[in-house]
Amino acid sequence: GLEVLAKSIQDYHDNYTRFIVLSLNEHPPTGFDKTSLIFSVPNKPGALYNALEPFALKNVNLTKIESRPTRGKPWDYVFYMDMEGHKLDGNVKEAISELEARASFLKVLGSYPIARRGS
């Protein structure tokens, strides 16, 4: 784990801040994992729906989807997405593979054990 340098620095009691730790090593599946990725789709009707459909069909729970403008490309967005499951789990792997075929860009950031609150 990481060393906590300062506690209770939040403005609001129930505030949670997400920290990302990068590693060159892959984490094996634990059975309690999340996967994060970024992707973009063409700016046309139904493109985002089409990109997300495989996750619903494969029963993959999406826990976060956040859009950010693509620098230098007005009206184009990149989507940051988290989901339950490891990228090597069958249903997650299949859904990501289908997303790859539908997206104009895809980068799997990695899979990692789900953090426990307060840890």
Q: Where are the chain's structural domains?
A: 33-113
What secondary structure does DSSP assign to 84-98, as a single string?
ES-TTSHHHHHHHHH
Element at 81 (helix H, strand E): strand 77-84
pLDDT in tens, 35-74: 999 999 999 999 999 999 999 999 999 999 999 998 888 8
- The domain covering 33-113 belongs, at the CATH homologous superfamily level, to ACT domain (3.30.70.260)
What was the pLDDT predicted at 117? 64
What was the pLDDT predicted at 118? 57
In this structure, what token pair is assigned to residue 84?
């339950």
3-state secondary structure of 45: coil
State the pairing for strand pair 77-84/33-40.
antiparallel
pTM: 0.83
For residues 62 and 69, the answer to whether their CB atoms sit within 8 Å is no
**Residue numbers annotated as active site:** 17, 19
